[in-house]
């Protein structure tokens, strides 16, 4: 008689046979998505953006430097995500939310610095938030949770396909868009006039618009309107900001046109889904 084949087993501490497959240990540890390198870069962007907002009312050069570095890291985190194979949905949303928030904060400041144009800046904030929210929502609801908002199908607008499919176009338009607003921000600190109404009553009566300002005549709070006027009194040369604004004006306008196209395309996509769903509902009721 042939001997019986024995199954492979191991002995536990009590000497009992234990099936080896019952005690498989996962070889892969649980990944901490929040500590991925591109996401850490994203956190540093937030810190730099908050620091730039802190200096925004009174230190234009420091603010512009911090804000610019935060924007540059927007491209670095994408490179890091591809290099380390750490592309995540959390990172993509973190990146988009950071972009929208930082740009909105800068535009809010510009709306206060240029009251005559406040409606324009408010409109740009609304357009930026609305177009990206509609696009993201349409992508998730119509394309599925696995669909990336940067993946545009062939039946969509060709401008959006070019914008999202070519990283060079995406980076250039986004960069020039931010550069334009930074230039306008710097121009707000090259104002040739002071506002005597913002000076203290005891020392501001003798000052005239355009006259040199003494720091002691302003409100002591670094975030008062008078302190901002004192920063503007240290007039910056407006030549460089004007040149930068002129060069980046057309790409900025192009970016806003793309936002309009993105908003309209996302709206049509959602309406198409609504029509299909309503047709299915009517067909089900007719049965």
- Which tokens sit at 107? 């535009």
List residues bridging with 9 in a β-sheet: 19
CA distance 268 to 144: 17
Beta-sheet pairing, 9-11 with 17-19: antiparallel
**Is 99 a known active-site residue?**
yes
Exactly one of 77, 95, 99, 265 is catalytic; name it: 99
Q: Choose among 206, 210, 213, 243: nearest CA to 231.
A: 213
Residues 6+ apart with CB under 8 A from 38: 77, 78, 80, 81, 84, 86, 87, 88, 91
State CA 199 to chain mean position distance. Answer: 37
- Rounded to 5°, angle at Cα 92 from 83 and 141: 135
Task: Provide the annotated active-site residues.
Answer: 99
């Amino acid at each position: 008689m042939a001997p019986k084949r024995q199954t492979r087993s191991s002995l536990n501490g009590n000497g009992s046979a234990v099936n080896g497959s019952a005690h498989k240990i996962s070889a892969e540890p649980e990944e901490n998505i929040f500590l991925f390198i591109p996401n850490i870069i994203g956190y540093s962007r937030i810190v730099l953006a908050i620091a730039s907002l802190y200096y925004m009312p009174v230190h234009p050069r420091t603010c512009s430097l911090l804000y610019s570095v935060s924007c540059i890291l927007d491209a670095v985190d994408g490179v890091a995500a591809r290099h380390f194979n750490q592309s995540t949905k959390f990172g993509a949303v973190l990146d988009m939310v950071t972009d929208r928030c930082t740009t909105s904060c800068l535009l809010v400041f510009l709306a206060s610095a240029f009251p005559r144009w406040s409606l324009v800046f408010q409109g740009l904030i609304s357009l930026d938030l609305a177009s990206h929210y509609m696009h993201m929502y349409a992508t998730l609801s119509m394309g599925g949770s696995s669909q990336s908002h940067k993946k545009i199908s062939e039946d969509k607008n060709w401008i959006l396909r070019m914008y999202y499919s070519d990283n060079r176009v995406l980076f250039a338009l986004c960069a020039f868009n931010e550069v334009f607003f930074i230039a306008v921000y710097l121009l707000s600190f090259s104002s040739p006039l002071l506002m005597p109404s913002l000076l203290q009553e005891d020392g501001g009566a003798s000052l005239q618009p355009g006259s040199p300002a003494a720091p002691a005549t302003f409100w002591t709070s670094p975030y008062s309107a008078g302190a901002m006027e004192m920063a503007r009194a240290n007039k910056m040369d407006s030549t460089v900001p004007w040149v930068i604004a002129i060069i980046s004006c057309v790409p900025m306008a192009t970016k806003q046109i793309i936002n309009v196209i993105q908003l309209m395309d996302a709206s049509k996509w959602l309406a198409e889904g609504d029509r299909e769903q309503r047709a299915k509902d009517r067909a089900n009721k007719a049965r």
